[in-house]
Chains A and B, each alone.
Chain A
Amino acid sequence: MSTVHAAPPRWRRGEGLKALLWMSPWLVGFAVFFAYPLAATVYFSFYRYDLFTLEFVGLDNYRYFLVDDRAWVSIKNTLWLVALMVPAQVLFGLGVAWLLTRLKSGVGFFRTVFYLPSLIPVVAGTVSFVFLLNPSGPLNQFLEFVGIAAPDWFGDKDWSKPGLTMLAMWGIGNTMMIFLAALLDVPKHLYEAAAIDGAGAWRQFRSITLPTISPVLMFSTVTGVIYALQYFTQAMIASRVAAGVTDSPGTAFVPGYPELSTLTLAQWLFHVGFRDFSMGYACVLALLLFAFSTVFTLILLRRFRAFDEGGDR
């Protein structure tokens, strides 16, 4: 007995091809820049690969991950940055933007002052910041002047990540601008109506401002988390400057100075792949980073959707 399949109507097949044709630039981009690298990463994660020789090792690279204590330290540091640096950045950006909406005069000046650091190249900004915070730098001199025992920011493992967080907060220009635009977009009449109903500033912020700017809040948080998961340049530069090590021929350097406290997953991945040339194992770390990004993004999207739905009720 044979099954008869009805052929799709001619017009529908034509429509489908047309749609494929229109989508093809995206499909090609997706295949070349996402699907292929992802497939290659999965493939190489089962191999010992030093860029020259390739040998199938099954799950050895995954097993090594379980005993690689530096990988675990780097994950811990990265999660610290996600949990503390991202909220600090978002809240500070939102706070500065909110204050700017309240200013009666000098708005342009302050907006420029807060935005300027984000225009400075990352490497130059980080180097300056480390010097600003060095043990005999101006900030520590000020702290000592007012009687506070100044920490050795980037030379002390307990203070290096807070130091990086301060650096991130210093460069919140872009986040602040997005929040500022969102805050200025909240309809004024909602505040007026709420004020007539007797709502105070906090109630207005919680019931009007937050729900209205929640898409922007979500965008900033999700991009902030992805950025923190890939945090690399600032940590690498700050640790090198603090350790007094330059990247010159013949100079070995363990990333993460002091005591691995600034070692992030992205840095360790780079070190394993492009210093150690253990590409197979670097692929395992890359897949882990990808998994982290996906899980965090999904969780955040769900949370914000729940928040939005709650706000609508």
Chain B
Amino acid sequence: MHRRFLTFALATLTAATLTACTAGTESAPALGSQPRPSGSASAALPASTIELWHGFSAPAEVKAFEDAIAGFRTKFPQITVKLVKGVQDDQITQAVRGGKAPDVASSFTTDNVAQWCRSGTFQDLTQVIKQDGIDLSVLPEVSRSYTEYEGRRCVMPLLADAYGLYYNKALMKGEQPPRTLSELTALTKKLTVRDADGTIKVAGFMPSFQYYENTASHLAPMVGATWYKPDGTSAVGSDPAWKELLRWQKELVDWFGYDKLEKFRKSLGQEWSADHPFYKGKIAMVLDGEWRNAMLANEAKDVDYGTAPLPVSDAKPDLYGGGFTAGTVIGVPKGAKNPQAAWELVKYLTTDTSALVTLSNALRNVPTTKASLESPDLVKDANFQTFLDIFAHPKTITIPASVNSTFNQDSLQEFMVRWEKGSVTDLDAGLAAVDKRFDDKLKLSGG
């Protein structure tokens, strides 16, 4: 009897262990298996309530989402849309794994798109896009690239971010914004103001990689640096553009003095507050996203500023005008209870010109379709237009989709911080170590 009991207990334990691997299998209908409205027959879709999770949390942002969805509610009165704000990527993944997926989910970043596409966390939209005859060429190529992975399009671009240079006209001493790295260096030195003891009072430009938006991904387009080789392994160590960027940056850091620059950096106000150093006249030129226009309008109306594309490598003047872009993505997670209604909402939000323009006007992000970019309803001034141009520029790049996107960005960023501090003596060896880290992780993730 004891033996039988033991056998039973062991069998139960083994079964439980093994079944744990398959938990979370969905019983919800898959996308394409439910009735869909044909053409303008919106009533063909059954009444339902769908839930949309998004990352926005400020009242104005939440209201913008509500306003953008108003058109969908008119078109599909039988569908109730419930919005859930302030959701992060890992919450989405865990909800899908736990069988509690929302019908629609959106993310502020493109970092997890590859992982979501590969694992099936988000459903493949290829078939319904084809069924509904959506022409994806209405999206710039760069937006198409950050919303798919290995042929699976599991999300659509909702709004995009583009990065450029903001300059404080009062601090520019009549100078024009720089177009090349050498011009940026010269202007930084000219515009920097120090106390008698060398303490920095105003920086022409903050070269520190630890400063807010000065990340590897945002700076890479200035030198045309690439992340991966065609086989997906790291290109960081072999692409001379990274070395050019790092050497240029270190020279400028050393001109400031690392310790003095760090002291200055730590004295600056928070990035997402009204104490931002650009508002306070502490920095003359900053790299930032298009959203800063809206923040300046709300928090620092008196700052007289201009915007321009980021300066580029002296050896690659054709890069000028481009920059970095990525953006908000939206899709239908696996296990969505009403996938067809969810897809209709995704389609509406990502392809309807009016919805995109409404969102862009309220959130001051870049709309993603060509029609919305050219819409007369899109509110734009010269400063915002700079970012629309950067987004549409053929040299604008993004981080290619990778299952280790976050890990790889963190790894390079960590190396760059050690580099600027002077802790790295051999740049080639350091970058080779970054390569190895990327590639080891790639192997762990199954290539």
Contacts and interface: CB of A to CB of B under 8 A. Distances in A.
Question: A and B bound?
Answer: yes
A66 B218 CA distance: 32
A43 B446 CA distance: 18
A155 B13 contact: no
A67 B120 CA distance: 29
Interface stretch (B107-115, B149-157, B227-235): B107-115
B447 to A, nearest CB: 11
B410 interface: yes
Contact of A50 (B119, B266, B413, B417): B119
A152 B89 CA distance: 33
A274 B90 contact: yes
Contacts of B109: 250, 252
A67 to B, nearest CB: 5
Given A48-B445, A51-B119, A274-B90, A244 B270 contact: yes
A40 interface: yes
Interface stretch (B39-47, B134-142, B383-391, B436-444): B436-444
A184 interface: no
A254 B413 contact: yes
A245 to B, nearest CB: 9
Interface residues of B, number: 52
Interface in A136-166: 152, 155
Given A36-B16, A67-B440, A152 B445 contact: no
Interface in B120-164: 120-121
Contacts of A276: 404, 406-407
Contacts of A247: 88
Contact of B111 (A36, A68, A252, A278): A252
B180 to A, nearest CB: 29
Nearest to B9: A31
B17 interface: yes
A40 B17 contact: yes
B336 to A, nearest CB: 15
A265 B21 CA distance: 25
Interface string A233-269: 0000000000010111110101000011000000000
A50 B115 CA distance: 9
B409 A135 contact: no
A44 B444 CA distance: 14
A51 B86 contact: no
A49 interface: yes
Contact of B444 (A51, A64, A260, A275): A64
A69 B438 CA distance: 12
Contact of A155 (B96, B97, B121, B266): B266
Contacts of B115: 50, 277
Contact of B266 (A40, A51, A152, A250): A152
Contact of B89 (A49, A246, A249): A249
A51 B13 contact: no
Given A36-B13, A43-B17, A51-B119, A244 B271 contact: yes
B24 interface: yes
A44 B19 CA distance: 12
B409 A252 contact: yes
A54 interface: yes
Chain A interface size band reads 35 or more
B374 to A, nearest CB: 27
Given A249-B57, A259-B417, A52 B24 contact: yes
A2 interface: no
A135 B263 CA distance: 10
Contacts of A50: 115, 119
Contacts, number: 98
B97 A52 contact: yes
B418 interface: yes
Contacts of A53: 118-120
Contacts of A254: 410, 413-414
Nearest to B5: A20
Interface string A32-76: 000110011001100111111111010011001001110000000
Nearest to A243: B210
A71 to B, nearest CB: 12
Interface in B76-91: 86-90
A179 interface: no
Contacts of A31: 9, 13
A249 B444 contact: no
B196 interface: no
B430 interface: no
Given A61-B444, A248-B55, 8 more contacts: A31-B13, A36-B13, A36-B17, A50-B119, A53-B120, A259-B417, A276-B404, A276-B407
Interface of B: 9, 13, 16-18, 20-22, 24, 55-57, 86-90, 93-94, 96-97, 107-109, 111, 115, 118-121, 266, 270-272, 334, 404, 406-407, 409-410, 413-414, 417-418, 436-437, 440-441, 443-446
27 contacts: A36-B17, A39-B13, A40-B17, A43-B18, A47-B21, A48-B446, A52-B24, A52-B119, A53-B120, A54-B22, A60-B443, A60-B444, A64-B440, A64-B441, A64-B444, A135-B266, A246-B272, A248-B88, A249-B108, A252-B111, A252-B409, A254-B414, A259-B418, A260-B414, A275-B90, A276-B404, A276-B406
Nearest 8 CB-CB pairs, A to B?
A250-B108, A249-B55, A52-B119, A51-B97, A254-B410, A64-B444, A54-B21, A249-B88
